[in-house]
Structure 1
Amino acid sequence: MAEQRKFLILKGGRSSEREVSLKTAAHVEAAFDRMGLDYKSVELDGFSEWLSLPLKGVDYVFNAMHGGPGEDGTLQALLDGLNIRYNGAGREASAICMSKVLTRLVASASGIRVPEGVWTPCGEPANFSRLQATLGASFVVKPDAQGCSIGVSAVNNKEDFDAALSVLNRFNGRVLFEELVSGDEITVGLLDGEILPCLLISHAHSLFSYDAKFNSPETTGYSIAKMPPEVLARVEKDVWRMCSILDIRDYARFDFIIKDGVPFLLEVNTLPGLNSHSVFVKASGLAGMDYDSVIGKIINA
């Protein structure tokens, strides 16, 4: 029984998603309180603290550490080595999906459509005119390994391009330059082996950016996506294909653009946010589940 287990909730960290992590953890803690579960909660800072976690007697770690080592396979590998269960994908899938570039390569090698893209190391010079020739007059600039659309910019001219690169100077790793695919933005959640209702996202921004997600929720709308049966079947096929390849089982979120009836996979989130603004939570609600039921499904998956 879940009530007999000892839980540890991990939150915080130093990634760019620290504040999102704390919001997720606050909601999870409240759910654990309502369900009467036995848990402790630890807010972490530097990685050295992870090596002295109070794991003795812990049966299950609820990982609310969005971004950085909490989401990129590092924490997952530590817990795997200690044979402690946790939420979210395993170490391999976490490492791959934290990288938008690696996710693209896995998806395209598996017959899943992705936008045209080019990537370079952060700080390496990039030629705006050559990128336009490859990707089109307008394209998207993304840091490779940041979640919540942090650092994502739409580029329409050289001024936009220079501004986008200046933002990315604070990140390490690769920069992804991606074709701007116009169409319906949908997100597809997976929970305990079932696909949640596909959500159509509408917003008053050129991109579904961090600002659109967290700072302007009143301008963002979510509704069940109405797609022709053949398009929905293709989306679900792509989701199941990625889940099979990456061994994703308990929960995850898949973001697509639907252009002219063709789904383009944008990214896979192996540790979706679980706060009140999170699209995963909204999709679960449209499936008729309250928040505590979602958390229960995750920890019992």
Structure 2
Amino acid sequence: MKKNIAIVMGGYSSEKDISIISGNVVFNHLNKDKYNPFRVLILKEKWVVLDDDNNEYPINKNNFSFSKNNNSIVFDVVFNAIHGAPGENGMLLSYLELLNIPHTSAPFYQMALTFNKRDTLSVVKEYGIKTAISVYLNKGDVIDTDTIIAKVGLPCFIKPNNAGSSYGISKAYTAQEILAGIETAYKEDDAILIESFLDGIEVSVGVIEYQNEIKVLPITEIVSENDFFDYEAKYEGKSQEITPARISETQKNRVEVVAKKVYKALNMSGFSRSEYIFVNDEPHFLEMNTVPGMTEESILPQQAQKAGISLPELFDNAILNAYK
């Protein structure tokens, strides 16, 4: 009997439109001979299943099921395609785990941890992973730009602590720009971090569980036309994403070792894509994305393709892993 797969998409953050695109790609590429896929749109105002004509069927939150033609349909596995809250920060996953419904992401605690940039950095530093120098602020804290500059230098990056797709990130060259960047970041989150600028090659490294092994996918070099890898660069063609990356064998070997070490240190499972910058051939960890984009043009699917893994194979593997 074919398994019922709920592909959850949407979410509560600025990333909801990107998530819907990813979810539809998963829906279109899942093996229909093997699975019954359903698109589940999760928004603050509604949780609904969408049919092929975009008719909506409300989700029963008591057991995460829905009714159609007087039949109650339950899900065997949830494929998580929600970027940001509540899919990437662990909230939805804790609910699914209470209901004993398998899902394609890491357990809720690992998702919550890796969604929090400052907490992720604090963990990986304990394992000797190199990172940028950081300053942390919560909304309402006194802002002393002289102290910030003395610690992280200029230029520096200001980032929301809990946000993705480069929303709310800015690069500051002056004290005044730091203040403006803080204001922008606070629009996305009440906690932010300010990081030193690392001058070097930026790469994106996908690490997944594939056929019961932790696999580092071919590495992607990021070359942004803008000042950094911002939203425009990621989603509006303002960057080159070169796979495999134009890096030395030494750099490749080092970042593969570090990427696998980070994946294990954070006790991850499922999908991950992390960013690193090389400084003197040493990879410095920036952050981890645990629900990466899943369109044909997205980085992790590109990497999988270079590794000889098609989208149907990639998605099928995630569902099989969920059963574990």
What TM-score, normalized by structure 2, do the two folds share? 0.86
Aligned to 1:299: 319
Match for 2:37 among 39, 57, 68?
39
Q: CA deviation at 1:142?
A: 0.2
Structure 1 range deviating more: 248-257 or 222-231: 222-231
Write out per-residue CA displacement over residues 238-257 of structure 1, whole angstroms, 9 at most, x where no aligned residue: 22222223222332111100
Q: Higher Cα Rg: structure 1 or 2?
A: 2
The answer to whether the 8 A contact 1:6-1:58 is kept is yes
Paired with 1:143 and 1:115, the residues of 2 have a C-alpha distance of 15
Q: Structure 1 stretches (4+) deviating beyond 4 angstroms?
A: 33-36, 47-50
Aligned to 2:156: 139
Paired with 2:174 and 2:79, the residues of 1 have a C-alpha distance of 43
Aligned to 2:52: none
Matched, 1:209 2:251: no
The answer to whether the 8 A contact 1:89-1:271 is kept is no
Aligned to 2:132: 115
Write out per-residue CA displacement over residues 216-239 of structure 1, whole angstroms, 9 at most, x where no aligned residue: x15423231243444333322222
The answer to whether the 8 A contact 1:12-1:43 is kept is yes
Paired with 2:184 and 2:218, the residues of 1 have a C-alpha distance of 34
**1:173 partner amino acid:** D
Aligned to 1:236: 256
Write out per-residue CA displacement over residues 174-218 of structure 1, whole angstroms, 9 at most, x where no aligned residue: 110000101111011123221100111112011111121012x15
Match for 2:65 among 54, 58, 64?
54
Aligned to 2:55: none
The answer to whether the 8 A contact 2:167-2:188 is kept is no
Paired with 1:254 and 1:35, the residues of 2 have a C-alpha distance of 33
Q: CA deviation at 1:46?
A: 1.6
The answer to whether the 8 A contact 1:201-1:223 is kept is no
Matched, 1:198 2:215: no
Closer, same or farther: CA 41–89 of 1 in aligned 2, 3 Å = same
Structure 1 range deviating more: 86-95 or 34-43: 34-43
Aligned to 1:264: 284
| 1:138-217 equivalent positions in 2, closer than 5 A | 138-191=155-208, 192=210, 193-215=214-236, 217=237
Closer, same or farther: CA 47–264 of 1 in aligned 2, 3 Å = farther
The answer to whether the 8 A contact 1:63-1:86 is kept is yes
The answer to whether the 8 A contact 1:200-1:224 is kept is yes
CA RMSD of aligned residues (A): 2.0
Match for 2:310 among 258, 270, 290?
290
| 1:22-101 equivalent positions in 2, closer than 5 A | 22-32=20-30, 37-46=35-44, 49=47, 51-52=61-62, 53-54=64-65, 57-101=74-118
Matched, 1:252 2:297: no
Paired with 2:151 and 2:45, the residues of 1 have a C-alpha distance of 40
Paired with 1:106 and 1:277, the residues of 2 have a C-alpha distance of 31
Matched, 1:106 2:123: yes
**2:114 partner amino acid:** C
Q: What's the secondary structure of 1:183's corresponding residue? A: coil
Match for 1:13 among 11, 14, 24?
11
Q: What's the secondary structure of 1:87's corresponding residue? A: coil
Closer, same or farther: CA 277–163 of 1 in aligned 2, 3 Å = farther
Structure 1 range deviating more: 178-187 or 41-50: 41-50
Structure 2 residue runs without a partner (length 5+): 48-58, 67-72
Write out per-residue CA displacement over residues 29-81 of structure 1, whole angstroms, 9 at most, x where no aligned residue: 11126556212222121288473532763110011111012111111111112
The answer to whether the 8 A contact 2:229-2:239 is kept is no
**1:37 partner amino acid:** Y
**1:167 partner amino acid:** T
Bigger helix share = 1
Q: What's the secondary structure of 2:177's corresponding residue? A: helix
Q: How many residues align?
A: 298
